[in-house]
Amino acid sequence: MDRLKKRYPSFPIVPIYGKKKLGEKIKELSGKVKKVGVMGGDGTVNEVIQHLAYSSTALGIIPSGNGNDFSRELGIPMDPEKALRVFIMEDSEETFVDLGKVGDRYFSNSFGIGFDAQVVFKSSENKNYKINALKEALRPSTFEFKGSFVMEEDDNLRMENELLMLVFANGRAEGGGFVINNGSEPLKDKKLGVLMVYPCSIFKRAIFLTDSLRAQLKNRRYMNQFKAVKANLEFSSEVLTHMDGEIQKMKRAHISIHPGALKILTGGG
């Protein structure tokens, strides 16, 4: 941060500590400035988009987290100084991307329940998501859950299953490279990719993780993929979930897609 401030003395770079204070600052600026840049990972971006959704203010991201999956999907440089240069350029390219929403809170990349939420929780202690995913896949299941899933736009699609994992994905990948959405144009698809993985053997979990890392996800007997615009979930008890890596527990949820809700900077023209 200090290095960037010295390199760009005429550009206001303000350190803000704590997501609550960050949210307050972004709310104050939203709609009043042309663009605002934020340095952080997917969790930081998650806080910021709550105040920039449907705003005229464009978001510039300077990645500094572990996964940075949203930034990678947008083609933003992972080097902070290169990303900052993209942000300060007058001819930076602006584009509109979709946002997902759970209840009254937006997500930029993914909303996950079960296995991947457990991995995110473990990764808050040990930051290596891929190693934690492998460890959890090889353990006896402690994250399987039961619930009902109703697609609002298709009343005929009602499911009540025991699941190992359920993910609603706006982006292509999570956890620094695990592909969870085979959509043709993630972030602009106007639909959320849905990935359902059913309880299965350790061997099949390993196959799933391998397919995900190789970006070769395919429907199998223990896995299903489709698209959704709106859905309602209700679980038999509180389950562990994550929203862009932010952990919480919930018993029910309403999920929806919001096309073109976020204006974002991706590069120079």
pLDDT of residue 149: 82
List the chain pLDDT tens, one digit each, 269 residues: 566 666 666 666 677 778 888 989 999 999 999 999 898 888 899 999 999 999 999 999 999 877 789 999 998 988 888 888 888 776 678 999 999 999 999 999 999 999 999 999 888 766 788 888 888 888 877 778 888 888 776 655 666 778 999 999 999 999 888 999 986 688 999 999 999 999 999 999 999 999 999 988 888 899 999 899 999 998 888 999 999 999 999 999 999 999 999 999 986 54
Enter the tokens of residue 106.
């937006």
pLDDT of residue 269: 44
57 and 149 share one domain? no
> How many separate domains does the chain show?
2
pLDDT of residue 184: 66
Q: Bin 175: left if φ > 0, else alpha if -120 < ψ < 50, else beta.
A: left
190-215 as b/e: b if 16+ CB within 10 A: ebbbbbbbbbbeeebbebbbebbbee
The whole-angstrom separation of Cα 88 and Cα 77 is 14
92 and 115 share one domain? no
243 and 112 share one domain? yes
3-state SS, residue 256: strand
- Residue 72's contacts (CB-CB under 8 Å, 6 or more residues apart) are 78, 173
pLDDT of residue 8: 63
SS (H, E, C) 70-100: HHHHHCCCCCHHHHHHHHHCCCEEEEEEEEE
174 and 65 share one domain? no
Is the full-model pTM beyond 0.95?
A: no
For residue 175, count CB atoms less than 10 angstroms from its CB and return exposed for 0-12, middle for 13-18, buried for 19 or more.
buried
3-state SS, residue 226: strand
Sign, CA torsion 178/180/185/191: negative
Residues spanned by the domain of 127 = 106-258
245 and 121 share one domain? yes
pLDDT of residue 3: 63
137 and 198 share one domain? yes
Sign, CA torsion 112/254/189/228: positive
Report the CATH number at residue 213: 2.60.200.40
Report the CATH number at residue 68: 3.40.50.10330
The alpha-helical segments, DSSP class H, found in the chain are: 2-7, 19-29, 42-52, 69-74, 80-88, 115-123, 129-137, 202-213
